[in-house]
Amino acid sequence: MSQSRLLPLSPRARYAGFSLRLIAATIDLLVLAIPLAVFVSFLSVAMGISTAFVNLRPGEPPGEILKAFGSIFVDVSLGFFVLMSWLYFAILESSGWRATLGKRVLGLYVSDLFGGRLSFARATARFFYGRLFAHIPLVGIYYFLIDGLCVLSTPRKQAIHDMLAGCIVLRETACDPLAGPGT
């Protein structure tokens, strides 16, 4: 077991606040949108419904979109997005980076409560405790709001999924070896 897992997190640890986490999440969503768009394009061609995209209009109700594409298309696309999101977050947050691309760009990283690197299992738990709820229509917006309030109001700026998985999101600090991603 590494020394960082045995010591409590330094009092100088800088917790990542709501705005930085929101910007990182937006970057991650844009990164994930690229393979999703490619997948949806190929799936629509394979299912013979690619022309339905031409008929889409802004503000169209979800029922009309579902009718145009069919529930199989929507379910397969959503399943792909959840699987891809899980692998993206769990692999990157348990890697040596300890961060997704969005977090990395902003100098943020995810750790356990002692500043140690996450295992793939803990990163997976973190994803399924929270990120999965964010992908569920209607539930997602309420979960996001409550999660944001938790980040704004808890002492270690933890979201619900962070608390449930025993994780924290920190900002890189050059002067504190226990608070940096290299530990």
Average pLDDT on 17-32 reads 96
Cβ 166 vs Cβ 121: under 8 Å:
no
Condensed to tens digits (0 to 9), the pLDDT of residues 54-74 reads 788 888 887 777 788 888 998
Lowest mean pLDDT among 3-17, 114-128, 151-165: 3-17
3-state secondary structure of 112: strand
pLDDT tens-digit series, residues 129-141? 987 777 677 888 8
Note the residue count of the chain: 183
If you average pLDDT over residues 143-166, what whole number do you get? 92
Rounded CA-CA distance 31/121 in Å is: 23
Task: Please say whether the beta carbons of 169 and 29 come within 8 A.
Answer: no
pLDDT of 157-170, one tens digit each? 999 999 999 999 99
What angle do helix axes 18-46 and 139-153 make, rounded to 10 degrees? 160
Q: What does the alpha-carbon distance between residue 159 and residue 101 come to, in Å, rounded to a whole number?
A: 19
Please provide residue 10's backbone torsions phi and psi, each rounded to the nearest 5 degrees.
Answer: -60, 145
Residue 58, token pair as written in the block: 């802004």
Q: Cα–Cα distances in Å, from 17 out to 21, 71, 168?
A: 6, 38, 11
Burial class (CB in 10 A: 0-12, 13-18, 19+), 156: middle
